Amino acid sequence: MISNDQLKEKFPMTDCRLLMFFFFLAQSLPLYGQNFDDLLDELLGSDADQMESQLEDMKTNEETSSISSTDLIGPPEEDEFAPEKNVITNGVTLQGLDKQTGRVFIIDAPIGQTIEFGTLKIVVKHCEKAPIDDRQESMGFIVISEGKPMGLRQKLFSGWMFASSPALSALDHPTYDVWIKKCKELKAISP
């Protein structure tokens, strides 16, 4: 082990002189980021001239050219990777469960028609499904109400239901469960 005396012999600087050396060294070296405002001033100052020249170039280009940017762009091209739009259908298949009897009902109905299921009245306002190429997701906007005494109706559910996730937005009723199975195109009935 080396003693302090041996260190002083090898390195003639004393502790005080060593501290002073580092202090003056630190003062003489430029420290970037020493202060956030100084750093911003330094960065913005170097880019300010470049930005001004770019703005001047843009102004002169605008003055010399009479062609607008919409003339250069043209009509939008179809993107082959863009997702296809959903298919809006005119019919829906719902599935209902009577919890008291355990019976399952499958109901096909056109959009906008009132469907009676037990004491419930169901109206599907909108139904759409994913394109054929994608996974088969169907979603519908459904309004469900229940008849009460004296002819009053109580709205139980109004919202979107998804075939792939029926529990995501489900009807909360003690006797009935209703969920969407799929959206489909119904054939027009000829008179």
Each domain of the chain, given as residue ranges in start order, spans 4-64, 87-184
- Joined tokens for residue 59: 């102004």
Question: Measured between alpha carbons, how far is residue 136 from residues 66, 107, 162, 168, 180 in Å?
Answer: 50, 19, 11, 17, 13
- Residues 123-134: what's their mean pLDDT? 84
Tell me the mean pLDDT in the region 162-168.
88
pLDDT band at 114 (very low <50, low <70, confident <90, very high): very high
Lowest mean pLDDT among 8-17, 68-77, 102-111, 135-144: 68-77
- Residue 45 scores a pLDDT above 80: no
Q: Cβ distance 123 to 115 under 8 Å?
A: yes
Q: State if pTM tops 0.85.
A: no
Higher pLDDT, 80 or 179: 179
